[in-house]
Amino acid sequence: MTIANNPPAVVMKAFTWAYEELSLTCSEAALMLGISEQALRQTALVGFSCDSEESKQQLAFIRLYHQLYALCDGDTDTMTQWFHQYQEDIKGVPKHLCINIKGIRTLSDYLSNRSELGNVESLQGNFVQPGGAFQQLVAR
């Protein structure tokens, strides 16, 4: 994967948007990056150095968010439900996999594979039509 040299403040803004859209708190986002909540708040306007581990992790999470957004046709409620609830096909809660970059990339790879299936019966059958959104994620 090629990482573009994005301005740190732009990456931080996109990361903040993504974690807030998925109903994560600042504390949870800081935990995901392996830093304190205070450190995250202090860098909120300027971001992290482009070559830092925090920046790499932010970019991976932003990519994950965009994949989920595409699979859910932008339905934030559906995205949030899926992200916060136990998913049998991954044997866990997606949110809990995002505690490190390996987990984020694993989940991102999983979503990429589901996307390649054409959204038909991917993610445990939650897609019911090509290009459609998740439906009844919690009705299992």
Per-residue pLDDT of 90-108, as tens digits, reads: 999 999 999 999 999 999 9
Q: Name the maximum alpha-carbon separation found in the chain.
A: 44
42-88 residue pLDDT tens? 998 899 999 999 999 999 999 999 999 999 999 999 999 999 999 99
Which of 14, 106, 97, 86 has the alpha carbon at shortest distance from 55? Answer: 14
Question: Against a cut of 0.85, is the pTM above it?
Answer: no
**Residue of higher predicted confidence among 126 and 27:** 27
**pLDDT confidence of residue 122:** 43
3-state helix, strand, coil in the chain (%, to 5): 60, 5, 40
d(CA 133, CA 140): 16
pLDDT score of 32 more than 80: yes
**Quick one: which of 65, 92, 91 has its CA closest to 80?**
65
- Tell me the pLDDT band of 118, cut-offs 50, 70 and 90: low
Contact call for residues 111 and 67 (beta carbons, < 8 A): yes
